[in-house]
Chain A
């Protein structure tokens, strides 16, 4: 009888262990898989190994905007050759540190070429130590990228867009903006929901 009870307990324990393993395994995979490329686990600082600038195409851009998970998105389009873009980066950095990352996400897309990640983009990001995700646009032609972002955009840089937590574009601005300007617009979008 005792043996039988022990066997049942042992079987039940094994089952629980298996179930827990399956559950945690699935949960871990779920974290890593969520959002695919857009949610890829990576280092937070360009100074650390693991920080990478991934190419983003039209589908990736749509995914990035669409998969908000309740977060407002400040999307900044810049290039290493664009002086006002470079001047704007400290404010973008400050913004990403001002808001809770679960509420507001800052993401930048570089309009440099994908083959310039190591030579131009990364050296700048390391110097600035940006604490947010940066992609590089991978489109056949600049106009394809321009129209994918916003059809009314002339293509002048920097360009900034704010999407609400449902992925709806709520703000579009061309030209350098200050920290306070950005903050005001982000708060409007956050408060408007």
Chain B
């Protein structure tokens, strides 16, 4: 009796772990936003990318700004490997002109899209800047959370976004799929 119960329990544990592994990933609906030049960009434009990194960023948030150089480095290290980087500005008070000036000033080579009315932030439930979503070409979320674990670069002990991208590029499953992003709240329209 006890043995049977143990077998059933073991089977249940094994089954639940299989189910977890096969759990469908959150899929993001395609969206189109304009960059600061008024050019339209859709998620479906990046079908051939090995990974799409959506970065909710801000022009005025000190925490987001503390990551400007790190974002430039990430772009430099991974864009040549087939990773697409897309900045998204969902803050209602930051204009397209401000976004453009900010991008130029900090040498961003990736597009920064203006999410008027924070539609995309709402869809993804993004709440702070900086906050990252890494998608595959089927627009499934493979990683969500922070870039790393400290706004002060010399205190970083866990480079979570890089770790996720390295796993994806190596054809492996991302180990840590969810971390907590810390930064300024996205200022939404009411």
Q: Which residues of A contact B (CB under 8 A)?
A: 81-84, 111, 113, 141-143, 146-147, 153-158, 174-175
Contacts and interface: CB of A to CB of B under 8 A. Distances in A.
B181 interface: yes
Nearest to A157: B185
A142 B180 contact: yes
Contacts of B151: 142
Number of chain B interface residues as a range: 20 to 34
A142 B187 CA distance: 21
B62 interface: yes
Contacts of B128: 154-156
Contacts of A113: 152
A174 B184 CA distance: 12
Contact of A83 (B149, B157, B184): B184
A141 B185 contact: no
B93 to A, nearest CB: 9
Given A83-B187, A156-B185, A157-B184, 12 more contacts: A81-B62, A82-B184, A83-B184, A84-B187, A141-B157, A143-B179, A147-B180, A153-B180, A155-B180, A155-B182, A155-B183, A156-B128
Nearest to B156: A141
B61 interface: yes
A8 to B, nearest CB: 70
Contact of A84 (B146, B180, B185): B185
Nearest to A175: B185
A141 B183 CA distance: 13
A157 B158 CA distance: 22
Contacts of B157: 141
Contacts, number: 49
Given A155-B128, A155-B180, A156-B127, A143 B187 contact: no
A175 B146 CA distance: 20
Nearest to A113: B152
Interface string B149-190: 111100101100000000000000000000111111101000
Given A141-B149, A141-B157, A154-B128, A146 B63 contact: no
Interface in B86-132: 127-128
Chain A binding site: helix, strand, loop or mixed by DSSP?
loop
6 contacts: A83-B184, A84-B185, A84-B187, A111-B182, A142-B182, A143-B180
Contacts of B146: 143
Nearest to A158: B185
A130 to B, nearest CB: 21
A81 B180 contact: no
Shortest Cβ-Cβ A-B pairs, 3 listed: A142-B182, A156-B127, A155-B182
Interface string B129-153: 0000000000000000010011110
A50 B141 CA distance: 51
B181 A154 contact: yes
A174 B157 CA distance: 27
B155 to A, nearest CB: 8
Given A141-B149, A141-B150, A141-B157, A155 B184 contact: no
A83 B94 CA distance: 13
Given A81-B62, A81-B63, A154 B184 contact: no
Nearest to B66: A81
A147 B152 CA distance: 20
Contacts of A157: 184-185
